[in-house]
């Protein structure tokens, strides 16, 4: 065999190897929107989300204190939510560690469970410049349809735009739930909400509450009375919808001080023993309101507050409910 042929063979092998090295990353690339390494940019168009799926959207924010708003419309009303993650939350998610999202979408105050289109919002600011992510999650019920928008003065979209759908789903034709929502199982978060120490964010998702159990939620309240400290305290509204029978679950409100007493000494529902914890408010019915149970009020101090949802003792079946906490100075 001639030396020229050997040289040619070597050149051909090097060329083939180079081509393989170029192809491998393409084959290994995460599908568009399927992970934080290849996120979409939201385009405000209706998109289908399969049962149990997650979809990642990315945006860049300068972190100069300008407000960022994320809005999502979803059909059916329940079963699909969104969260806001930074790169740190992405890292913890990838390592399968427990973490709390920067924020989560909440239902608009006038949004009811039987509304055809659910409307969710999140509004906040970022302290540092960087890339952030909106993670849309299907958690319960049938296939959902949603459209997502992200807006802000210093928001930009360095990632790929979502492909245009061939035919945008019409909310009126989207599947309607035939029965009470059945939350998808989440083994990794099985302990979430079982105590004040593992309290969840009240994102408005439909939840199943087994017989004899309780769920805990927490939110942050800013007791802002204005720059002159002469304004009214901002109002908090807690609303809960319960699938029939509506008396299958109730909720009450707790301060951090009462939580500390509850953990240390137990509960006294009569509030006679001041060393024990007791709630500071309870959900009640009101014929002039749409929700099944509600509570409205204020707190004099800024801090973390809690909502406990309890299964009613007289019922022997799981409760299905949706809890919402709203207010101009409420966050979670």
326 sits in which H/E element: strand 319-326
Report pLDDT digits (tens) over 206-249: 888 988 899 999 999 998 877 777 788 999 999 998 888 888 89
| The token pair that represents 51 in the structure block | 């049962």
Q: What pLDDT sits at residue 30?
A: 75
Show the beta-strand stretches assigned E in 97-202.
103-104, 106-107, 118-124, 130-138, 144-152, 155-156, 160-161
314-332 mean pLDDT:
85
**Domains plus CATH for the chain?**
40-162 (2.60.120.380), 192-331 (2.60.120.380)
Report pLDDT digits (tens) over 103-129: 998 876 544 544 557 788 898 999 899
Least confident of 143-147, 181-185, 313-317, 321-325: 181-185
Residue 148 scores a pLDDT above 90: yes
The proportion of the chain whose per-residue pLDDT surpasses 90, expressed as a percent, equals 36
Measure the CA–CA gap between 247 and 287, rounded to whole angstroms.
Answer: 15
Measure the CA–CA gap between 332 and 201, rounded to whole angstroms.
Answer: 6
27-42 mean pLDDT:
82
36-49 mean pLDDT:
89
CA distance to 4, 36, 62, 80, 173, per residue, from 217 (Å): 76, 28, 31, 19, 34
Query: Whole-prediction pTM value?
Result: 0.47
């Amino acid at each position: 065999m001639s030396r020229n042929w050997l040289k040619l063979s070597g050149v051909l092998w090097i060329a083939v190897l180079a081509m393989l090295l170029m192809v491998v990353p393409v084959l290994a690339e995460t599908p568009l929107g399927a992970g934080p390494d290849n996120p979409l940019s939201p385009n405000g168009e209706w998109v289908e989300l399969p049962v149990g799926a997650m979809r990642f959207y990315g945006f860049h924010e300068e972190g100069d204190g300008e407000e960022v708003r994320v809005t999502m419309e979803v059909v059916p009303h329940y079963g699909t939510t969104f969260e806001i993650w930074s790169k740190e939350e992405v890292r913890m998610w990838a390592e399968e560690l427990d973490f709390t999202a920067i924020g989560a979408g909440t239902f608009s105050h006038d949004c009811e469970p039987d509304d055809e289109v659910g409307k969710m919002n999140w509004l906040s600011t970022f302290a540092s410049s960087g890339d952030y992510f909106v993670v849309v999650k299907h958690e319960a019920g049938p296939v959902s349809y949603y459209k997502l928008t992200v807006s802000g003065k210093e928001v930009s979209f360095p990632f790929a735009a979502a492909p245009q759908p061939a035919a945008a789903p019409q909310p009126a034709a989207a599947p309607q739930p035939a029965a009470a929502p059945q939350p998808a199982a989440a083994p990794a978060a099985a302990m979430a909400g079982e105590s004040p120490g593992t309290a969840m964010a009240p994102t408005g998702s439909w939840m199943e509450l087994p017989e004899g159990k309780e769920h805990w939620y927490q939110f942050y309240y800013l007791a802002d009375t204005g720059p002159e400290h002469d304004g009214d305290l901002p109002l908090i509204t807690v609303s809960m919808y319960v699938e029939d029978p509506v008396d299958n679950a109730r909720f009450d409100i707790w301060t951090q001080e009462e939580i500390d007493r509850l953990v240390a000494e137990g509960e006294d529902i009569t509030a006679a023993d001041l060393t024990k914890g007791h709630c500071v408010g309870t959900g009640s019915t009101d014929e002039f309101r749409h929700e099944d149970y509600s509570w409205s009020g204020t707190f004099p101090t800024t801090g973390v507050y809690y909502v406990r949802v309890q299964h009613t003792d007289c019922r022997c079946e799981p409760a299905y409910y949706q809890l919402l906490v709203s207010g101009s100075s409420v966050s979670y």
